[in-house]
């Protein structure tokens, strides 16, 4: 049987089906038990009646002339008896045949017999007297037993038959009432506006619905955070891209209007530089959006030493252009679990910041070492460093130290902190004891 699609229909079908099955089993068990007890009771009555006749006939047989017993009860036709003395019928009920109820020619045996007389089944008990010259047969129609059984069953089962529809109505009402919170939840969700992401609350919600409501509210919370992140990304992109795009447009206009080849080339080069800055800004925004969306980085073993060599090789032309000394100290292999691309972005942002915000001819030292089972990445420079107020604001979106003369989006530090947090690492800043400028330390916990 295919269950209904609705939860309410399934509950009604299953509960009522089980109630009906239990009811049928109870009826059958009651029928068998009552029939057994009824047979035992009526059989004992037959045996007692036969014993009484045996005793009476043993002391009161005057002649061999058959006598008919009077009918003293309206059910007398359903019961019959015979008494034989020395093979002759001496006493019988009016409805008893002249021949023994147990077929003639059979060897007499005491006990119960089921015989068929004139198209009617009889339950007969045969008994013998003490001198074995008296045979007594007491019989009862089997149909009367069935009638009595049905009478007993009617009196026993009619309350159950009446109660079953009432029980079905009660179960249906209970199921409808019990599933009302689910329908209320459906109506509540249907009435909500698409932009409504506040938690769903139901008054008097059953405890079984609490995990579902918690999961639903958790999902709404995550969707709200994701949408807020998307709105921030859109606002950030619109805010930050407006300036480089305007600069590119201005330089392009200058190039179109300039007749001097050197000035036009300078304007075109500025246009290309502006495109590079816009590309870098877009990359930064996309990385930050990916981190804010909560996407967990794929973990794999990353050799930080080799990763740092690639990062420094890519940043070396920029450092050489400012006459800066860029060095790497990674004497021992250090491996951490993380995303190789994101870890490269983290290192590149730290080194790029050190290069751009350090003066010409500055020294920049990148170190990688183990300490107490932890992996430490340090980037320090000989620049002016940061004061306490500036250091406290590092990591804020679009925060930049003014007066450096360097272009930037102010997103690099926010990206560094988010990548570190996604990998279970911590970021700390202080003054470099060796170079005097800013020192940034990224610490991965011991494996």
Q: Where are the domains of the chain?
A: 7-167, 208-289, 298-444
Check whether 405 has a pLDDT greater than 50.
no
Range of lowest pLDDT (105-114, 186-195, 309-318, 346-355): 105-114
DSSP conformation letters of 301-347:
EEEHHHHHHHHHHHHHHHHHHTT-EEEEE--S--EEEE-HHHHHHHH
* Most confident residue range from 55-69, 76-90, 402-416: 76-90
What is the per-residue pLDDT for 445? Answer: 83
Are 346 and 425 in contact by the 8 Å Cβ rule? The answer is no
Range of lowest pLDDT (75-84, 180-189, 360-369, 400-409): 400-409
Of the two residues 347 and 3, the one the predictor is more confident about is 347
Provide the pLDDT confidence category of residue 398 given band limits of 50, 70 and 90: very low
Of the two residues 91 and 360, the one the predictor is more confident about is 360
What is the per-residue pLDDT for 291? Answer: 65
Angle at Cα 149 formed by Cα 146 and Cα 151, nearest 5°? 110
Of the two residues 264 and 287, the one the predictor is more confident about is 264
Check whether 71 has a pLDDT greater than 70.
no
Average pLDDT, the chain: 76
pTM exceeds cut of 0.75: no
Of the two residues 31 and 66, the one the predictor is more confident about is 31
Provide the pLDDT confidence category of residue 48 given band limits of 50, 70 and 90: low
Q: What is the mean pLDDT of residues 207-216?
A: 82
Range of lowest pLDDT (36-40, 49-53, 319-323): 49-53
Of the two residues 101 and 294, the one the predictor is more confident about is 101
Same CATH fold, 298-444 and 208-289? no
Provide the pLDDT confidence category of residue 378 given band limits of 50, 70 and 90: very high
Is domain 298-444 annotated with CATH 3.30.365.10? no
Range of lowest pLDDT (62-71, 130-139, 248-257, 315-324): 62-71
Q: What is the mean pLDDT of residues 23-28?
A: 78
Range of lowest pLDDT (257-266, 325-334, 435-444): 257-266
CATH class of residue range 208-289: mainly alpha
Q: What is the mean pLDDT of residues 235-263?
A: 74
Q: How many CB atoms lie within 10 A of CB 39?
A: 15
Q: Break the chain down into helix, strand, coil percent, rounded to 5.
A: 55, 20, 30
DSSP state, 404?
Answer: S
Check whether 345 has a pLDDT greater than 90.
no
Alpha carbons 297 and 80: distance in angstroms, whole number? 97
Strands 363-371, 325-329: parallel, antiparallel or unpaired by DSSP?
parallel
What is the per-residue pLDDT for 441? Answer: 92
Check whether 399 has a pLDDT greater than 70.
no
CA neighbor of 427 nearest in space, from 401, 381, 391, 402 = 391
What is the per-residue pLDDT for 275? Answer: 83
Q: What is the mean pLDDT of residues 40-55?
A: 62
Find all residues with CB under 8 Å of 339, minimum gap 6, and list them. 297, 298, 299, 300, 302, 423
User: Which two structure tokens, joined as six digits, stand for 48?
Assistant: 């007692």
User: Which two structure tokens, joined as six digits, stand for 151?
Assistant: 């009478």
Check whether 145 has a pLDDT greater than 80.
no
Provide the pLDDT confidence category of residue 252 given band limits of 50, 70 and 90: confident
């Amino acid at each position: 049987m295919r269950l209904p699609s609705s939860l309410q229909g399934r509950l009604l079908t299953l509960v009522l089906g089980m109630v009906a099955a239990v009811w049928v089993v109870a009826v059958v068990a009651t029928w068998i038990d009552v029939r057994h007890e009824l047979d035992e009771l009526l059989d004992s009555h037959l045996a007692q009646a036969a014993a009484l006749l045996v005793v009476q006939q043993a002391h009161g047989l005057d002649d061999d002339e058959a006598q008919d017993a009077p009918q003293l009860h309206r059910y007398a036709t359903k019961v019959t008896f015979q008494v034989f003395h020395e093979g002759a019928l001496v006493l019988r009920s009016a409805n008893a045949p002249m021949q023994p109820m147990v077929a003639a020619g059979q060897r007499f045996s005491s006990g119960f017999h089921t015989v068929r007389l004139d198209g009617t089944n009889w339950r007969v008990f045969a008994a013998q007297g003490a001198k074995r010259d008296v045979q007594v047969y007491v019989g009862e129609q089997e149909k009367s037993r069935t009638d009595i059984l049905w009478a007993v069953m009617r009196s026993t089962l009619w309350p159950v038959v009446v109660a079953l529809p009432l029980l079905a109505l009660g179960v249906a009402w209970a199921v409808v009432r019990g599933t009302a919170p689910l329908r209320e939840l459906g109506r509540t969700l249907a009435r909500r506006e698409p932009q409504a992401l506040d938690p769903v609350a139901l008054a008097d919600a059953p405890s079984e619905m609490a995990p579902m409501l918690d999961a639903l509210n958790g999902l709404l919370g995550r969707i709200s955070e994701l949408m807020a992140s998307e709105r921030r990304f859109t606002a950030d992109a619109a805010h930050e891209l407006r300036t480089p795009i305007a600069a590119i447009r201005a330089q392009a206009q200058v190039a179109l209007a300039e007749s001097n080849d050197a000035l036009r080339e300078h304007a075109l080069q500025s246009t290309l530089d502006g495109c590079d800055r816009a590309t870098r800004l877009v990359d930064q925004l996309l990385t930050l959006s990916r981190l804010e969306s909560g996407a967990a980085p794929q973990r794999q073993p990353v050799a930080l030493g080799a990763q740092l060599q690639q990062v420094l090789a890519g940043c070396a032309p920029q450092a050489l252009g400012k006459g800066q000394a860029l060095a790497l100290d990674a004497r021992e292999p250090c491996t951490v679990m993380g995303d190789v691309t994101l870890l490269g972005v983290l290192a590149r942002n730290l080194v790029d910041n050190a290069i751009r915000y350090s003066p010409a001819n500055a020294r920049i030292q990148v170190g990688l070492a183990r300490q107490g089972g932890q992996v430490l990445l340090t980037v320090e420079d000989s620049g002016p460093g940061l004061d306490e107020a500036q250091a406290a604001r590092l990591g804020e979106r679009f925060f930049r130290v003014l007066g450096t003369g360097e272009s930037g989006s102010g997103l690099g530090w926010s990206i560094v902190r988010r990548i570190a947090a996604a990998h279970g690492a911590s970021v700390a800043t202080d003054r470099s004891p060796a170079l005097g400028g800013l020192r940034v330390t990224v610490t991965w916990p011991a494996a």
